[in-house]
Structure 1
Amino acid sequence: MPTTITGLILLVVLLLPGLTFVIVRERKGSERRPTPFRETGAVVFCSILTELAVLVVFAVLRGLMPELTPDVGRLVREGAPYAQVHYAELVWWAGGLLSAACALAAVVALTSGVPHSSAMSSWWVMFEKWFPGESPLVGCVLEDGSYVEGRLASFNVSSDDLPDRDLVLIDPLKYRASGAAEAQDVPWGAVCVSARRIVSMFVSYPLAPGQEAGEAATAASGSAAS
Structure 2
Amino acid sequence: MPTTGSGLLLLVVLLLPGLTFVALRERRSSERRPTAFRESGAVVFWSVTTEFVTLALFAVVRSLLPELTPDVGRLVREGGAYVREHYVSLGWWGAGLLAFSCGLAAAAAMRAAAGRHPSGMSAWWMLFDGWYPGENPMVGCLLEDGSYLEGRQASFNVSADDSPDRDLVLVQPLKYRPPGGTEARPLPWSAACVSARRIVTVFVSYPLAERAVGAGEEGAAGAAGAGSGPAAG
- SS of the aligned residue for 2:132 comes to coil
RMSD of aligned C-alpha atoms? 1.8
Matching residue's letter, 1:34: P
**Superposed displacement of residue 145, structure 1:** 1.2
Other-structure match for 1:166? 167
Other-structure match for 1:131? 132
Instruction: Give the Cα–Cα distance (whole angstroms) in 2 for the partners of residues 193 and 120 of structure 1.
Output: 21
Deviates more, 1:39-48 or 1:79-88: 79-88
Instruction: Give the Cα–Cα distance (whole angstroms) in 2 for the partners of residues 211 and 162 of structure 1.
Output: 38
Deviates more, 1:198-207 or 1:105-114: 105-114
Instruction: Give the Cα–Cα distance (whole angstroms) in 1 for the partners of residues 107 and 168 of structure 2.
Output: 29
Matching residue's letter, 1:158: S
Instruction: Give the Cα–Cα distance (whole angstroms) in 1 for the partners of residues 97 and 119 of structure 2.
Output: 37
Other-structure match for 2:46? 46
**Superposed displacement of residue 211, structure 1:** 4.4
Aligned residue pairs, count: 212
Matching residue's letter, 2:44: V
**Superposed displacement of residue 3, structure 1:** 4.3
- SS of the aligned residue for 1:15 comes to helix
Other-structure match for 2:20? 20
User: Does the CA-based 8 Å contact 2:31-2:122 persist in structure 1?
Assistant: no
User: Does the CA-based 8 Å contact 1:29-1:114 persist in structure 2?
Assistant: no
Deviations along 1:109-157, one digit per CA (max 9) or x if unpaired, are 2333242212111000111111222222211111111111112121111
Matches within 5 A, 1:54-203: 54-112=54-112, 113-203=114-204
**Superposed displacement of residue 167, structure 1:** 0.9
- SS of the aligned residue for 1:153 comes to strand
Matching residue's letter, 1:13: V
User: Does the CA-based 8 Å contact 1:26-1:32 persist in structure 2?
Assistant: no
TM-score (norm 2): 0.84
Matching of residue 210 in structure 1 with residue 211 in structure 2: no
Deviations along 1:182-210, one digit per CA (max 9) or x if unpaired, are 22222222211111111111112231143
Deviations along 1:63-92, one digit per CA (max 9) or x if unpaired, are 111111111112212222322322222222
Deviations along 1:144-174, one digit per CA (max 9) or x if unpaired, are 1111111212111111111111111122222
Label 1:84 to 1:185 Cα distance change in 2 as closer, same or farther (>3 A).
closer
Higher helix share: 2
> Which protein has the larger Cα radius of gyration, Structure 1 or Structure 2?
2
Q: Which runs of 5+ in 2 are unaligned?
A: 218-233
Paired-residue identity, %:
65
